[in-house]
Amino acid sequence: MSTAEETAGGETSAWGEVTPDAARRLLIAAVEAFAERGYHATTTRDIAGRAGMSPAALYIHYKTKEELLHRISRIGHEKALEILRTAARREGTAAERLADAVSSFVRWHAGGRTTARVVQYELDSLGPDAREEILALRRQCDAEVRGIIEDGIASGEFDVLDVKGTTLAVMSLCIDVARWFNVDGPWAPDEVGALDADLVLRMVGVK
């Protein structure tokens, strides 16, 4: 049960808010199809077929194919933001919070690679308005990470030359996991999370 299980791993919880059931099945089918082939190469017939429905059924629940991508992007970014926000606001030193943020964010990208891939790489397929809405969420994600780094500098824990650039690099490390991570590869999401957390701490001058 590769696909269903992978999607179930940490993602169905996020799709739980999507109702009714048929709409959720279509959305999950769309995530899988977009992740595999890309938004433009995916046909509405393919999405409906994966959900076990006729092509027309899609349009009962969604106005257009783009609305599916929009919904997926928004829910995915909200989940990403929640992950980072949780890590940023917990108790602990800046180093602990940064390591927590990176490892959980990386775990999300690795374990939910299907969703993460769509969320991170299909943004440009959205129309201008939808893209701007999603970009605002993305800036909030950046801000959470930057906040932790600034805290660490203020407390003297971190030694950082360029806050904005280092923040971008941290995000790069996390997001790029969605590009290369392979479920059948040698790593478990936990391992990549721990490894990248260690590397990020080195980047900010801890140890």
Give the number of C-alpha atoms closer than 13 A to the C-alpha of residue 68, restricted to the C-beta side.
Answer: 29
Angle subtended at Cα 85 by Cα 190 and Cα 113, rounded to the nearest 5 degrees: 40
139 binds a copy of itself (CB under 8 A): no
Distance of CA 136 to the CA centre of its chain: 15
199 binds a copy of itself (CB under 8 A): yes
* From 22, 143, 169, 183, residue interacting with a copy of itself (rule: CB under 8 A): 169
40 binds a copy of itself (CB under 8 A): yes
* CB nearer a copy of itself, residue 154 or residue 199: 199
Q: Which residues bind DNA (CB under 7 A)?
A: 20, 22, 42-46, 48, 52-57, 59-61, 63-66
List of residues 6+ apart from 133 with CB closer than 8 A: 74
* CB nearer a copy of itself, residue 61 or residue 189: 189
Measured distance CA(109)–CA(181) in Å, rounded? 8
List of residues 6+ apart from 148 with CB closer than 8 A: 87, 88, 94, 97, 98, 101
* From 136, 172, 188, 190, residue interacting with a copy of itself (rule: CB under 8 A): 172
81 binds a copy of itself (CB under 8 A): no
Measured distance CA(121)–CA(117) in Å, rounded? 6
Distance of CA 124 to the CA centre of its chain: 15
67 binds a copy of itself (CB under 8 A): no
Interacting residues toward a copy of itself by CB under 8 A = 37-38, 40-41, 120-121, 124-125, 161-162, 164-166, 168-169, 171-173, 175-177, 179-180, 186-187, 191-192, 195-196, 198-199, 202-203, 205
